[in-house]
């Protein structure tokens, strides 16, 4: 075989392996770096964890945190759900140094549409989809869950506009829900984190961009059609005040929507206590109830 042909074969094999299944022990397979869309030369990727010996497992989408400007799909916190028979997709999205809001929501909704379109290929059940995320990811999953069909937030990313981006259950780990109140509720430490993060995400502080801040705030989108919501928040959170979860919890109650609020007493902003046996069981039971 000629050297040039050998090189071509190597490139093609490498490209195929990029999206091939990688066996991880006896319990599940992981499909790495699946491209769900491309925008302005930026490849949008996700990893998909599929439990073995489970036919058409229900799907949960994980959205990472990182103040909208950092983090990646590599940090996936729901391995316990994979062990309990759920497929989990961990999604990368454009970070705020690359693109301002609402790019992040557009990307995640494109990932959901892609997963619905490709459900049979990967052997998953994407008719009912759950979504979960922490911190900035918690904000995004709440906003996604409460804005199905919202013209400004759907976007046109990807090739599957005929699919729905709706989700049927949301787990928000300590995410912001109201950009117009969060800075007024914050400690000096919280302000030192949130002010630059929100400026980068929105283009300025929320008070100077009130219409955009409202669009980006889940609490202003709550209506009778929203999916069940589980909130998990620490009462000592120095970065995202627990009042942020209280606000959206109250809106759900006003609309008689199914909502659970788990307060992690003594909990700060993340940590092992949010993913201990108690909370993992709570999340598993919540998704079992609403996705199976």
pLDDT tens, residue by residue, 201-234: 999 999 999 999 999 999 999 999 999 999 999 9
Residue 187 is predicted with a pLDDT of 86
Give the list of residues 6+ apart from residue 291 with CB closer than 8 angstroms, or none. 58, 59, 60, 86, 128, 129, 130, 168, 169
Interval 236-264 mean pLDDT? 98
Return the ∠ at Cα 257 (arms to 227 and 223), rounded to 5°: 70
CA atoms within 13 A on the CB side of 40: 6
Give the list of residues 6+ apart from residue 5 with CB closer than 8 angstroms, or none. none
List domains and CATH numbers for the chain: 22-291 (3.40.50.1820)
The answer, yes or no, to whether residue 8 has pLDDT greater than 50, is no
């Amino acid at each position: 075989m000629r050297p040039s042909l050998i090189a071509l074969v190597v490139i093609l094999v490498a490209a195929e392996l990029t999206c091939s299944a990688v066996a991880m022990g006896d319990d599940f397979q992981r499909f790495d770096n699946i491209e769900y869309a491309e925008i302005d030369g930026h490849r949008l990727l996700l990893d998909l964890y599929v439990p073995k010996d489970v036919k058409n497992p229900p799907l949960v989408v994980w959205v990472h945190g990182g103040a909208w400007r950092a983090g990646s799909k590599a940090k996936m916190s729901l391995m316990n759900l994979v062990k309990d028979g759920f497929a989990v997709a961990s999604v990368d999205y454009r970070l705020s140094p690359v693109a301002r809001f609402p790019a992040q929501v557009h990307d995640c909704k494109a990932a959901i549409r892609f997963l619905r379109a490709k459900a049979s290929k990967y052997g998953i059940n994407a008719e009912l989809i759950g979504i979960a995320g922490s911190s900035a990811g918690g904000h995004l999953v709440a906003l996604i869950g409460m804005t199905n069909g919202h013209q400004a937030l759907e976007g046109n990313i990807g090739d599957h506009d005929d699919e729905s981006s709706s989700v049927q259950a949301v787990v928000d780990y300590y995410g912001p829900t109201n950009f117009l109140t969060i800075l007024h509720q914050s400690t000096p430490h919280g302000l030192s984190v949130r002010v630059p993060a929100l400026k980068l995400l929105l283009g300025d502080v929320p008070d100077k961009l009130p219409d955009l801040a409202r669009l980006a705030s889940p609490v202003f989108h709550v209506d009778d059609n929203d999916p069940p919501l589980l909130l998990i928040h620490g009462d000592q959170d120095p970065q995202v005040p627990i009042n942020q979860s209280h606000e959206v919890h109250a809106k759900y109650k006003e609309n008689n929507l199914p909502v659970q609020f788990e307060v992690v007493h003594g909990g700060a902003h993340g940590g092992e206590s949010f993913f201990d046996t108690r909370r993992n069981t709570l999340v598993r039971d919540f998704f079992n109830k609403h996705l199976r």
